[in-house]
Structure formats: C-alpha cells, structure tokens
Structure 1
Amino acid sequence: MTPPVVILVRPQLAENIGMCARAMMNFGLVEMRLVAPRDGWPKKGARQASSGAASVLDNAKLFETTRDAVADLHYVLATTARERGQMKPVFAADEAAAKVQDLAQGGSRAGILFGPERMGLSNDDVALADAIVSFPVSPAFTSINLAQAVLLVGYEWWKLVSGGKAPIAPTRSSPPATREHMLAFFDYVEKELDAVSFFYPPEKRDIMMRNFRNIWHRLEMTEQDVQTMRGAVASLVGGRQGTRTRRD
C-alpha cells in the first residue's frame, strides 16, 4: 500500500523537520517533501532530532513552491485547525487515512500538507488541496506542534494498513492452574484460616468459604501463581508459629 507523501510547507526549525522524519518512520511514511524551508536545506540539527530516521531526511525533496510540490499527486489534503471558508470536505485523521487508502488501492498518489510552525498553511496553500484534515483537539487550545500533527496522521494511516493490533502480546510463562492444584491450595489455606478462627460466626463458614474461593477463581491463576501464594501463606504461618515458640 503506497503511503501518502508528507509535505512540510515553509518549515521554520530544522529540529522540527527531524522530529517529523522520526514520526514518519514510526508509522511507515517514507517520502518527505520540503517547500522553501526558512533556513534552507539541509540544515544542522535535523539529523540529530530524527533519532535515527536519517533515510527520510536523506531522500527528502526540496521545492520552491507548494504548487511544485504537489504537481505529480492525484489528491492533496491540507491540515488546518481553522475554518477557511473554501467549501472543501473536512476529514478527521482516521477518515483521511481511509481516503488515502482507497486512493492508493486505485493507483492514485496522495499528499498531505503541513504548514509552518507559527501560522500554519496560508489560504493559497489550502486552495491547492482537495480536502482538509482537522484534529479533534480541545477548543481551548488548538495549536499542535508540527511533528505531532505528522505523528497523528501517520498513526491513523499505520493503524489502518497494519490492522491496528498491539505489536506485542501478553506472555504466560506458566500454564493455568488445574482444578486439583487450586483445590489443594484452598484446602491448605482454609485449614490455616480455621486455625485462627477466620470463618466466624461458625454458621456462616460455608458462605464465607465459597466467597473466598470465588475471589481466587476470578484471578484465573497459573500454576506459578498458586505455588507463590501457597509459599507466602506458609511463610506467614511459619513466622507466626516461630514467634510463639520464642515467646514460650
């Protein structure tokens, strides 16, 4: 699946360009285009800020105008937090990712415009786009860092094309405890609890014991869990008996 092109329009800080490259690499975005970066390109500081995403920076393409940067693309989205009055479709980041995926499946290439850090895209930049991408942020503070904006779009893209599952799975080093193992544990612990008159009053013993067992069942314990808890109880019992012996 061909990912969208990331187009940074008049970016101001080399460090932000580097952090954008890092965000791109995190989520499978490989092509960066730079439109008239304020301090020129390449610029010291970008590579360090990229934290190893040097391949994106090494292959970044430089353009003088936004028009030139989007000339070979079939569909362009512009990121902005402001209503521009240009009667364009407005997508959230996940909707934009779905649109780009549909286009890619049909063989079309898409690009996403990100404006300069201080003011964002100009109206003329937005006019070159087919649609707008806007993020559902708090209306009390809508400003998003350039790299954060790239990361949000990249995250939604990668979640869509990768299936969105967590990359790591929980591991279980010990098999689930068998009923025999659990019941032996219950017998042992309940015997020790009887020794200290825990199940009181006596007429409520059966109900209390069932509730006690149900607590452990809800934990879905492994064999190692049972062994650990049995050892902990044994240590408490042994410590208490040892104290009694010393006092005697």
Structure 2
Amino acid sequence: MGSLNSQPAFVLVRPQMGENIGAAARAMWNFGLDRMRVVGPRDGWPNTRAVAMASGAGRLLDEAQLSDDLPGALSDCHYVMATTARPRGLTKTVLTPEAAMAEARARIGRGERVAMMFGPERAGLENADIAQANAIVSVPVNPDFPSLNLAQCVLLCAYEWQRSAGTATDRVEELAGTSPATGEEVDHLARHYEERLEQAGFFFPETKAEGMRLNLRNMWSRMPLTRADVQMLHGILRQMVRWKTRGE
C-alpha cells in the first residue's frame, strides 16, 4: 500500500451509498491510488455494499481511515483541495483536475501531505467543508447538468493523478507483431504494381501515364504500411495474375 508521503489521500466526506464508496475504491485502484479516508458515512462502517462493489479493490476499504469529523480526517495534511461543481462565493484558488494533480505531485515531491475532498452524493461539500481547504478543484461540466456522481469524480481525479506522472503516451501505433515497412520494401511493392499495371494497359493514354505513376507512388507513401501489409499486397497481386492466366 502507498503512503500519504507518496500520493494524495482521497477523503470521502459523509458518503451516502455504500455502492458509491466501493465504486470510488475501484476507481482509485485503477490508477494506483490506495489512500482512502471516509468521514461520517451515512450507513455506517464497514459497509457490505461497499465491499461488494469494490470487487478487487476491497483492500482499500479494509485499510481506509475512518473519521467522525472532517478536521480529524485532515489533521495531518499540509495542503487540502476540495472538489465542487458549484460557485461557492469563497476566496480560493480554483484548479482544474489536471492542474490540481500536478500541484499535488509537486507538493508531495517536497515532502508535504496532500488530501482531496469529495462531498456526499446529494449536494456535494458544504461551504463549511470547503472553508477547510486550501484550494478548489472544479470540473468544466455542462452548466445545465453540473452534478457528477461521487465515483465519477474520483475516477476523473485519479486519472489525472496517473497522467501527471508523465508515464502515459498520447498515441501508440499497435503493430500486432509486425513492424513498419522500410522505404526499400515500399519501393519494391510500388514497382511490382507498376509492372503489372503496365502489362494490363492501365497507364493510358501515354500523355497521362507519367502523372498516373506519380499519383500511385504518392498513394503508397501516404499509407502507413507495415511489412505484413506489403507482403499481403504482393500476394494479392500475384494471385490475381495467376487467376487471370488460368482463365485464358
């Protein structure tokens, strides 16, 4: 299990439904977070519905810190952020989840203990809760429907925590056991097709033949071909030629 010196604590304040607590545990563990704190759960603790919903993340609930009040849950923290979708009229720094998790990682790197608060499902955190935070985390949601499910909000913030580590790659080309085709392999493919198309009388009329060859070469260069693609295209053309020969 991680320590609060290496990750933020996620503090669920007066959660109402055990299912949402369990779903929040799953969301945390999806992204490597396991420091949960629970403040005044409505249906008591431990909660069998939370355990059932947590599935493989049940150990987060087993080791969750239970507190009767919010000051007790935050007593060892240096920096606290509160999630809310509604304007609160409080003088606070307001961060996006992305900026909040970058801030959390920077502070934890300096040895601070950081916590993020999530409010109860019905109405979220109260102003008295938010007053105990150093900053607000606000998600740019639809203003006509700003309410986020507890577990959804936890998932969003946990994802940004993982992303702040810089380990996620924005784009990966999955090559399924093959590798990109080399320039030589693509050139060989292009010449193979040009030769067969020439025999088939494709480059006609002669005045347009050079432009047609140029367009064909340009088409091959635009395609992100793999070695497997090149081999298959060679095979298709060979089979078509064999099929035509058998039919004569």
Regarding TM over 0.5, the answer is: yes
The one of 219, 223, 226 aligned to 2:223: 219
Asked if the contact 1:3–1:28 (Cα under 8 Å) also holds between the matched residues in 2, the reply is no
Asked if the contact 2:190–2:220 (Cα under 8 Å) also holds between the matched residues in 1, the reply is no
- Partner residue in 2 for 1:132: 136
Structure 1 position 236, deviation (Å): 2.6
Letter in 2 for 1:45: R
Range that drifts further, 61-70 or 110-119: 61-70
Q: 1:28 to 1:88 in 2, by over 3 A?
A: same
What are the equivalent positions in structure 2 for 1:138-153 lying under 5 Å apart? 138-153=142-157
Letter in 1 for 2:243: G
The one of 96, 106, 112 aligned to 2:110: 106
Cα distance in 2 for partners of 1:116, 1:226 equals 57
Cα distance in 1 for partners of 2:231, 2:215 equals 21
Range that drifts further, 180-189 or 68-77: 180-189
- Partner residue in 1 for 2:48: 44
The one of 108, 117, 125 aligned to 2:121: 117
Deviations along 1:85-110, whole A, 9 cap, x unmatched? 11111111111112212221221111
Cα distance in 2 for partners of 1:15, 1:161 equals 29
TM-score (structure 2 length as normaliser):
0.89
Letter in 2 for 1:99: E
Letter in 1 for 2:159: Y
Letter in 2 for 1:118: R
Q: 1:105 to 1:223 in 2, by over 3 A?
A: closer
Range that drifts further, 39-48 or 106-115: 39-48
Deviations along 1:1-27, whole A, 9 cap, x unmatched? 621111101111111111111111122
Cα distance in 1 for partners of 2:184, 2:106 equals 55
- Indicate yes or no: 2:247 matched with 1:238: no
SS of alignment partner, residue 8 of structure 1? strand
Structure 1 position 202, deviation (Å): 1.7
- Indicate yes or no: 2:98 matched with 1:94: yes
Cα distance in 2 for partners of 1:189, 1:70 equals 70
- Indicate yes or no: 2:68 matched with 1:56: no
SS of alignment partner, residue 51 of structure 1? helix
Deviations along 1:184-222, whole A, 9 cap, x unmatched? 433332233234332222211111012102211222433
Asked if the contact 2:85–2:138 (Cα under 8 Å) also holds between the matched residues in 1, the reply is yes
- Partner residue in 1 for 2:78: 74
Structure 1 position 139, deviation (Å): 1.7
Letter in 1 for 2:158: G
Letter in 2 for 1:98: A
- Partner residue in 1 for 2:233: 229
Deviations along 1:99-137, whole A, 9 cap, x unmatched? 212221221111111001111011111111111110011
Structure 1 position 167, deviation (Å): 10
Cα distance in 1 for partners of 2:230, 2:160 equals 42
Q: Structure 2, unaligned stretches of length 5 or more?
A: none
Range that drifts further, 162-171 or 117-126: 162-171
SS of alignment partner, residue 56 of structure 2? coil
Letter in 1 for 2:84: T
TM-score (structure 1 length as normaliser):
0.89
Deviations along 1:26-66, whole A, 9 cap, x unmatched? 22221111111111111112223223112211101111111
Identity %: 43
Q: 1:106 to 1:185 in 2, by over 3 A?
A: closer
RMSD value over aligned CA atoms? 2.2
- Partner residue in 1 for 2:189: 185
Asked if the contact 2:175–2:226 (Cα under 8 Å) also holds between the matched residues in 1, the reply is no
